[in-house]
Structure formats: C-alpha cells, structure tokens
Amino acid sequence: MTAPAADEAPLISLRGVTKVYGEGALAFQALKGVDLDIRRGDFVAIMGPSGSGKSTAMNTLGCLDRPSSGQYLFQGVHVEALNRDQRALLRRRYFGFVFQGFNLLARTSAQENVELPLLYRGELAATRHAAAARALESVGLKGWERHTPGELSGGQQQRVAIARAIVTEPAVLLADEPTGNLDTHRSNEIMALLSRLNSDLGITVLMVTHEPDMAAYARRIVRFVDGMVDSDTLNPHPVVPAAPEIA
C-alpha cells in the first residue's frame, strides 16, 4: 500500500476535544483537550492505564459518543455538529467495529452474523450472501459459513466478528481489545489478520490494547494518561505477519 502524502489532509482530526460525564460536583472529565490526527491507512494502537481516557477516545472516534467540546473532523465534516441520526449514518457507512467479547448472535450461523450490517442497510439477500461469503473467505473461514459461534473456537469467533466489521468495506476499523479473550497463539493470528487488512486492503485500523506485544503490530502508538495524549510515536519496526496475503 502506498503511504499517504505528507501534505494530505488527515482522515480524522481531533482538536481540543473534551468529554465530561455528569454535572456539578459529580462531573468527571474523561478527556481534557485531546488533539489527534489519523491519516488514511494508519494502523494506530491506543494505549494507557485504566481510566486514562483511551476507551472514551475510541467511542468518540467511532461516533458512538459526542464530545462535550472541541472539534472532530472526519473527511472534513464536523462530526461534533451532527445529530444522532447523522452520526449513525456515518458509522454505518464508514466504520467497522470489533469488540473483545465478539458480540455474535449465539444461535445464528457465521454467514448470518456477517450479513447483519448489510441487512440493516436494506441490501438484497443475494448481495448480502455474496458479500458475507467474500468477507468470511478473506479472514480464512471459507467452509465455515454454516457453523454457529458455539461450534467455533475463540479465534474463529473473533474472525467472524472481523468479517462482520469489514463486510461493508469500511474506511476505518475500530478494534477494542480484540485479543483480550484469546490465548497468545490466537491473539497473534488475529493481529496478523488486522495487519494484513491494513496493509493489503488499505483499511485504517484504530486499536485499543493494554498489551505491548499486540501494540507491536501497529505502525504508530498513542498513549493516553489522565484524559490527554501523553505520547504519539511511530513504531520503526512493526511486527510483519508471515501468513499469506489476503486475496
């Protein structure tokens, strides 16, 4: 993948973003004036201790939460000025989400789980089936389409969750502790997959993690402390997965 030009406008830009929960004496400021740029094609690991603001920042970046103040620009659009329905439309069109707990429907096949975002979009059945099959194949699960989550390993379930996140061909994939429920071997498999989605398909990946070994796959590491960006550094030697490239 060709690196973005240095003068290319950021895909995402946060300026002076704050987030306050509660009011008066009970108010808690989770974000305290965050400035952050994300360029198209970045692979960013967001780290920090518990309560540092990293999860709040991720929710803000994914349009799941709205800043209390400051600016959030996505492709030049002021997200902080959008209403709830407009933010939901932005999420459906441009963002994919992967969570620690997989969040799959237990009695539903892998194929049907992956089709869900397309169902919400109102896509025709034939379109949904074909797109879900391609997404499952891209994460190495061709032949597992009819299996339910209970018939899959933890690593396979997370692959289904990733297929569901990318079936809409999002510009940005947000992963919140995607390896938190997996052993080391499966964690490295998932990180190799995320790395290839970034390098081969050009998907911008934003990942919250507390594990340095997982952050090592990212090309950039942003650390939060006390609701602010404490450091933002390039990873000069990101882990390069040895698995085959995604077709």
**What CA–CA distance (Å, rounded) separates 222 from 245?**
27
In a domain, 168, yes or no: yes
**Nearest Cα residue to 208 out of 57, 89, 66:** 57
The CA dihedral of 32, 92, 13, 67, to the nearest 10 degrees, is -20
Q: Is residue 151 part of a domain?
A: yes
So what's the pLDDT on residue 5?
52
pLDDT at 100: 85
Structural domain for 144, as ranges: 12-234
Instruction: Answer yes or no: is 75 within a domain.
Output: yes
pLDDT at 1: 43
17, 60 contact by CB (below 8 A): yes
* Residue 205 falls inside a structural domain: yes
pLDDT score of 26? 87
- Whether residue 133 is contained in a domain is answered as yes
Query: Under a CB-based contact definition with an 8 Å cutoff, are residues 42 and 13 in contact?
Result: no
Q: Angle, nearest 10°, between helix axes 154-166 and 110-121?
A: 20
User: CA–CA distance from 193 to each of 135, 149, 201 (Å)?
Assistant: 12, 19, 11
> Cβ(47)–Cβ(229) under 8 Å?
no
**Is residue 221 assigned to a domain?**
yes
Alpha-carbon distance values, 225 to 29, 51, 220, 222, 233 (Å): 13, 8, 17, 10, 15
Identify whether the C-beta of residue 181 lies closer than 8 Å to the C-beta of residue 104: no
Say what the pTM is: 0.90
Spatial separation of the C-alpha atoms in residues 34 and 46, rounded to whole Å: 13
- What is the per-residue pLDDT for 8? 79
Quote the CA–CA distance of 189 and 140 in Å, as a whole number: 11
pLDDT (0 to 100) of residue 24 = 85
Confirm whether 126 is domain-assigned: yes
Contacts of 243 by beta carbon, 8 Å cutoff, 6+ apart: 189, 192, 193, 196
Structural domain includes residue 2: no
Neighbours of 148 (CB within 10 A): 17
Report the domain count for the chain.
1
Edge-to-edge strand order for the sheet containing 95-99? 95-99, 172-176, 204-208, 43-47, 220-225, 228-234
- Mean per-residue pLDDT pooled into runs of 10, the chain (247 residues): 62 97 90 97 96 94 95 96 94 92 92 94 93 94 95 94 95 94 91 94 95 96 97 94 57
Rounded Cα distance, 127 and 131, in Å: 6
We report the CATH number of the domain holding residue 159 as: 3.40.50.300
